[in-house]
C-alpha cells in the first residue's frame, strides 16, 4: 500500500536487522515516509535468534542498534527513533497504545495480523498493516531474495 507521507504519528516494525541490506533499506525508508513523529523498532535478540543460520557470526544487538539509528537519521532526521531489544515476536507492538501502523515485508505480513489479534485481545486499536514487497527479481523465489543470511555466508 502506498501511503501519504507522514500519514501516521507512531509507526512500528521489527526484525533482526543483521548486516543491513537493500531489503532493510527499503523497509526502513517506507517506515520513515509514513511516520510523522515516532518510529519504534523492535530488534530481535535472545530466543528469537536461536534458529538463525550462522548465528555465531551475527552482529551484537548494540552494533545493529547503532547502524540502524545512523541509517534512519540519514533518511529522515525529523522523526524520533526508539530502537529496543525484543525477545518475543511481539515486543512493544502489542502494548503501546499510541501505535497506528505496522510496517512489514511480504514474508512477515502474517506477523502483522498476529500483532493486531493480540492488540484486540488487549482492547487496543488495530494497526494499519503496511506491506513492503521483497527485494529481488520478480521471478525469484524465497531462496533468491535479499537477506542477512545470504550476507553472513
How confident is the prediction along the chain (153 residues), in pLDDT tens digits per residue?
444 568 999 999 999 999 899 999 999 999 999 999 999 999 999 998 888 777 676 899 999 999 999 999 999 989 999 999 999 999 999 999 999 999 999 999 999 999 999 999 999 999 999 999 876 655 555 454 444 444 434
Using the structure block, give the residue that is written with the C-alpha cell 511516520.
Answer: 35
Let me know if residue 55 belongs to a domain.
yes
CATH number for the domain that contains residue 22:
3.40.50.620
pLDDT at 5: 66
Domain hosting residue 38, numbered range: 8-152
Q: Contact, 68 vs 29, CB < 8 A?
A: no
Using the structure block, give the residue that is written with the C-alpha cell 523497509.
Answer: 27
Let me know if residue 2 belongs to a domain.
no
Let me know if residue 3 belongs to a domain.
no
E strand map for 6-133: 8-15, 35-44, 80-86, 101-105, 128-132
Let me know if residue 88 belongs to a domain.
yes
What's the number of domains the chain is made of? Answer: 1
pLDDT at 70: 95
pTM: 0.84
- Long-range CB pairs of 116-123 (<8 Å, 24+ gap) are 118/90, 118/94, 119/93, 119/94, 122/94, 122/95
Amino acid at each position: 500500500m502506498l501511503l501519504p507521507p507522514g500519514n501516521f504519528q507512531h509507526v512500528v516494525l521489527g526484525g533482526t536487522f543483521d548486516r543491513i541490506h537493500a531489503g532493510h533499506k527499503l523497509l526502513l525508508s517506507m517506515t520513515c515516509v509514513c511516520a510523522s513523529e515516532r518510529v519504534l523498532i523492535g530488534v530481535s535478540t535472545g530466543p528469537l535468534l536461536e534458529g538463525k543460520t550462522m548465528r555465531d557470526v551475527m552482529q551484537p544487538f548494540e552494533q545493529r542498534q547503532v547502524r540502524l539509528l545512523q541509517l534512519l537519521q540519514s533518511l529522515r532526521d525529523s522523526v524520533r527513533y526508539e530502537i529496543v531489544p525484543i525477545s518475543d515476536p511481539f515486543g512493544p507492538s502489542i502494548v503501546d497504545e499510541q501505535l497506528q501502523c505496522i510496517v512489514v515485508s511480504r514474508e512477515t505480513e502474517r506477523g502483522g495480523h498476529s500483532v493486531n489479534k493480540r492488540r484486540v485481545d488487549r482492547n487496543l486499536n488495530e494497526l494499519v498493516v503496511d506491506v513492503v514487497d521483497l527485494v529481488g527479481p520478480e521471478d525469484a523465489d524465497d531462496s533468491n531474495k535479499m537477506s542477512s543470511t545470504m550476507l553472513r555466508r
